[in-house]
Amino acid sequence: MLGQAQGQAQDQPSAAGDYSHSEMELVAGIRLQADGRFLYGLTVGALDETAQGRWRWVGNRIEFESDPRPVAPTITAGKVESAPGEPFALRLLTPDGRDMPGVDLRIDYDKGDPLVSYMAGGPFVVPGDDGHIARSVTFSMAPVRLQSPPLPLNPKDGTVAIFLLSPGDFGVVDMTGSYAEVAGDVLTLHRAEGEMQFRRVRGGSEMGE
């Protein structure tokens, strides 16, 4: 268990406060509370991320631990539906039956290179021919720890393979293992997906209570 921020070394600066980042179509914020808790949020396009947990100084950097740890989403194979006259396709559906956009996919064939693409929010037509047959699809979305195993495909024109998303804590990112460096009013967050710089908010909060 991570300790509270008050247990930091005496020579560390006070990092508690609100930090924000904004650019075209993206807004993000981090709140480091004096009791050692943190809140994180990001909005970009149709994607929303949140996180909460604990933070502490470890040496010259701040380390994060999500608390509670989010439950990762999963994907399983569903039924195969008839689509007369249409090429073979696949769909990724949420529990309410809607197409899930923004999820990366990889299609492996019996020979040759895999196809890497993404779900745009509707049926995905799987390219292939008699000498280039799709054998499996793998779905992934790194920020929310979505990673399916290779799921078998049986490509036949006139059919649609349905896959089902079990969301878990979809949209809640696991910050455990992430860390930040603070220099003056600038906080640089390091995650597996990359790094982002935040600037301390003076005289107010942008994250709400």
CA dihedral (47, 173, 143, 91) in degrees, to 10, reads -60
pLDDT per position as a tens digit, 52-97: 999 999 999 999 999 999 988 899 999 999 999 999 999 999 999 9
Is the pTM for the entire model greater than 0.85? no
Q: Is residue 126 a contact partner of residue 135, using CB atoms and an 8 Å limit? A: no
Average pLDDT over every residue of 177-186: 95
93-98 long-range Cβ contacts below 8 angstroms, 24+ apart: 93/162, 93/163, 93/164, 93/165, 94/165, 94/167, 95/164, 95/165, 95/166, 95/167
pLDDT per position as a tens digit, 31-41: 999 999 999 99
Residue ranges of domains in the chain, CATH in brackets = 5-70+171-200 (2.40.128.490), 74-166 (2.60.40)
**Euclidean distance between CA atoms 35 and 56, whole angstroms:** 10
> Do you find a cis peptide bond into 68, omega within 30 degrees of 0?
yes
Average pLDDT over every residue of 167-196: 92
**Tokens at 125, concatenated:** 């037509």
What is the band of 131 on the pLDDT scale with cuts at 50, 70, 90? confident
Q: Please give the residue that has the higher pLDDT: either 170 or 114.
A: 114
